[in-house]
Amino acid sequence: MASVGQQGVAGVSHVFPLGSRLGEAGRLEIGGCDAIELAERFGTPAYVYAEDDIRARARAYMEAFRARADHFEIVYASKAFPCTAAYRLLVEEGLSCDVASGGELYLALKGGFPPERIYLHGNNKSEDELSQALEAGERMAPGQRVLLRVTPGISPSTHDYISTGQVDSKFGFVVDDVPRAVDRIRNLDLVGLHAHLGSQIFDLSPLEKLAEVLSSMGEYPLLNLGGGLGIAYTADDRPPSIEDYAETLLRSAPEGVTVLCEPGRSLVGNAGVTLYRVGTVKRIPGVRTYVAVDGGMSDNIRPMLYGARYEAEIADRFGGEVLCTIAGKHCESGDILVRDVLLDDPRPGDVLVIPATGAYGYAMASNYNGITRPPVIFCSGGEAREVVRRETYEDLTLRDV
């Protein structure tokens, strides 16, 4: 499974879901389903996932850790895609689940994760969220099993907004404060330590001694080494393999300790694409060609939040020589999904696809400008099913009193 995430089919970049291909008519197929037919059936924008891609990556993680550790647990960082259909799929693959709020806990339970395979963490949990977690697990303090979050002072090479292991972080206890924090824990069962360096990591070297740093703070049965493995958002991106990531993460892990790993983006990011319909094409000679689509920052805020870069293609005309900027429909000049991408003569009515949107698109979607959130479509073996319906205008007023 070393090539999971880096397999391309002729004409289709490795940023697209595994198994994606161009059919005989040159039309993109995701999970065996024609992208243009999906757009016509379910409308646009739409989040489309290749179900088999998610399963393949989950199995790759399980196999990589099984080959290198006697005791381990792969914990889905569900903030990346907190959808009950994804929870159901991943619990079937033997994963556990990480939740960061009462809402994610509710969704994970609805998705079929048993309480004993759910981890709740993050800073500043409310009393209500803690009570909710305790009630779901049918356990009450004293005796509640807990992990202590440590800020190891290791800074990965990634965007500042998604870096969490440096000393200046809102998460966890810095190394010098860990003994005092451990001493303050009363009537709870401290079973391990937890650290997370950040997200979208390509350089694995900061991870090499993470287990060693945590192990130096005492002997515990569990070490949660976080997640953060990066994915390919553009054809030039070559993230490390899951196997290399596991090898690096486990290199310093003590024998007999159960090691936890928390992949999120690397499980679902490349499994999903977003389909849009082109509305207008605005050509400014000598300046820029704007291709405006029927979505934007309400369904993918990452380009505006992090400066995230994506690719884009016309679903039935891959390639091209027209330099374009993909603009959203929102009332913001900064509502730009992709800058400077080559397309094949884009026209109103075209179905445009942006790959590698499987993580944090759905999770961060909003109703800005009163735009309804897109549906989620799972595709496998040529069959498509709607797992989250499109919002309606009526949904926008459901909470009004």
Name residue 201's beta-bridge partners: 229
Give the CA dihedral 313, 295, 232, 8, nearest 10 degrees.
-30
CB neighbours (10 Å) of residue 229? 30
Residue 216 identity = S
Provide the 8-state DSSP code for 216: T
Residue 359 identity = A
Residue 206 identity = P
Cα–Cα distance for residue pair 94/113, rounded to 1 Å: 10
CA of residue 36 relative to chain centroid, distance: 25
Cα–Cα distance for residue pair 372/365, rounded to 1 Å: 9
Cα–Cα distance for residue pair 109/106, rounded to 1 Å: 5
Residue with tokens 């390509």: 202
Name residue 174's beta-bridge partners: 151
Catalytic residues: 331
Sign of CA dihedral 340, 342, 345, 346: negative
Tell me the two tokens of residue 5.
Answer: 């995430």
